[in-house]
Amino acid sequence: MRSLSFKLILSFLIVNLIAIALAAGFVWYRSSSEFNRYLLDQNQSEYFEVVSAYYAENGSWVDIDKTLLEKRLIPPPQSVGLEPAPAPPFVLVDHKREVIVQGNGYKLREIVDPIELEKGIPIISGEEIVGTVLITGQTPFRTSIQQEYLDGFNQALLIGAIGGVAIALVLGFLLARSLTKPTRDLTRAVKKMTQGSLDQHVEINSRDEMGELANAFNQMSKELARSNANRRQMTAEIAHDLRNPLTVINGYLESMLAGVLQPTNERMEIVYNEVQHMRHLVEDLRTLSLADSGAIILEWQPVVVCQFLKNLTKVYAQLASSKGISLKMDCEKGLPEIEFDVDRIGQAMGNLISNAMRHTPIRGEVVLAAKRNDGALVVTVQDNGEGIDAGALPYIFERFHRGDSSRHEDRSGLGLPIAKSLVELHGGSIYAESEGTGKGSLFSIQLSLGGEKSFS
- DSSP letter string, 338-401: EEE-HHHHHHHHHHHHHHHHHTS-TT-EEEEEEEEETTEEEEEEEE-SS---TTTGGGTTSTT-
Among 140-144, 365-369, 440-444, which stretch is predicted with the lowest mean pLDDT?
Answer: 140-144
Q: What is the DSSP letter of 435?
A: S
Per-residue confidence (pLDDT) for residue 398, from 0 to 100: 79
- The model's confidence at residue 451, banded by pLDDT at 50, 70 and 90, is very low
CA distance 222 to 189: 12
Question: How does residue 299 score in pLDDT terms, banded at 50, 70 and 90?
Answer: very high
- Percent of the chain whose predicted confidence (pLDDT) is above 70: 92
Contact call for residues 288 and 399 (beta carbons, < 8 A): yes
In whole numbers, what is the pLDDT of the chain averaged over residues? 84
CATH superfamily of 301-448: Histidine kinase-like ATPase, C-terminal domain (3.30.565.10)
Q: Which of 93, 135, 130, 128 is nearest to 114 (CA)?
A: 93
Residues 84, 384: Cα–Cα separation, whole Å: 115
Predicted pLDDT at 84: 60
**Residues 292, 61: Cα–Cα separation, whole Å:** 108
130 and 123 Cβ atoms separated by less than 8 Å? yes
Query: What is the pLDDT, as a whole number, of residue 412?
Result: 55
Does the predicted model carry a pTM greater than 0.75? no
pLDDT of residue 86: 65
Question: Angle, nearest 10°, between helix axes 4-58 and 144-194?
Answer: 170
pLDDT tens track for 69-103 = 888 777 776 644 455 666 778 889 998 889 888 88
Mean pLDDT for the stretch of residues 333-349: 92
- Phi-psi domain of 333 (left: phi exceeds 0; alpha: psi -120 through 50; beta: other): beta
The three-class DSSP label of residue 302 is strand
Specify the pairing of strand 90-94 against strand 326-331: unpaired
Sheet of 365-373, strands arranged across: 326-331, 365-373, 376-383, 441-448, 429-433
| pLDDT, tens digit, 9 for 90 and up, residues 173-224 | 887 777 777 777 888 888 888 887 878 888 877 777 777 888 888 888 888 8
Dump the DSSP string for 161-216: HHHHHHHHHHHHHHHHHHHHHHHHHHHHHHHHHHTT----------SSHHHHHHHH
pLDDT by residue (tens digit) across 353-403? 999 999 999 999 999 999 998 889 999 999 999 888 888 888 888 776 655
Residue bearing the bigger pLDDT, 165 or 304: 304
**248-291: pLDDT as tens digits:** 899 989 999 998 889 899 989 999 988 988 888 888 888 888 88
pLDDT digits (tens, 9 = 90+) for 114-141: 888 888 889 998 888 889 988 887 777 6
Strand partners, 379: 370, 445
317: pLDDT strictly greater than 70: yes
Helix (H, G, I), strand (E, B) or coil at 283: helix
- Position 128 scores a pLDDT of 87
- Determine if residue 269 is left, alpha or beta; phi over 0 gives left, psi from -120 to 50 gives alpha, anything else beta: alpha
